[in-house]
Amino acid sequence: MRQRGRKSAAQLSVITSGHQKRPEPPDSLTDKQKEEWDAVVKRMPIDWFPRETHALLAQYCRHVTRADDIAQILEMMVKDRKKNFNPVHYTKLLGQEMRQSNAIATLATKMRLSQQSSYDKSKKKHGNELPRTEAPWGDDDDAADGTND
């Protein structure tokens, strides 16, 4: 039976023998997608990806590699613009690239990989607040009452 409430300092100091290892990429991913999987998994703590998140991570890796492929095709089209440039095809590829980017952003946020998902609002520095300075003409009291003596 499990103890209710907070754990004591003694309980927290005990190291469990449960040896965890990082999740391996599924066989269904391509080599490029497996490289992306490994890169993401190695950047996060060892227990960051429980079993239920593996499908999200696999999709994230697919979208990242597809976005890279689309970006390469777009770059080739721009370089070879003088040859057989098709603006309709280019526009469709831009739309596909945007959809991949949106999927990547959504999945990254869901798995708490992005800056937005790991941002601590309590530590926010209000960048839109300007420091208070004296009025350029000198005395702040004159500025408050609108008089210039």
Residue 5's pLDDT band (boundaries 50, 70, 90)?
Answer: confident
Using the structure block, give the residue that is written with the tokens 């098709």.
86
Segment 23-71, tens digit of pLDDT: 999 999 999 999 999 999 999 999 999 999 999 999 999 999 999 999 9
Q: Is the dihedral of CA 107, 62, 37, 18 positive or negative?
A: positive
Rounded-to-integer distance, Cα 93 and Cα 69, Å: 10
Rounded-to-integer distance, Cα 21 and Cα 19, Å: 7
Greater confidence (93 vs 15) lies with 93
Greater confidence (121 vs 136) lies with 136
Residue 76 has which token pair? 């080739």
CA-wise closest residue to 22 among 45, 3, 52: 45
pTM over 0.85: no
Residue 69 has which token pair? 């492929």
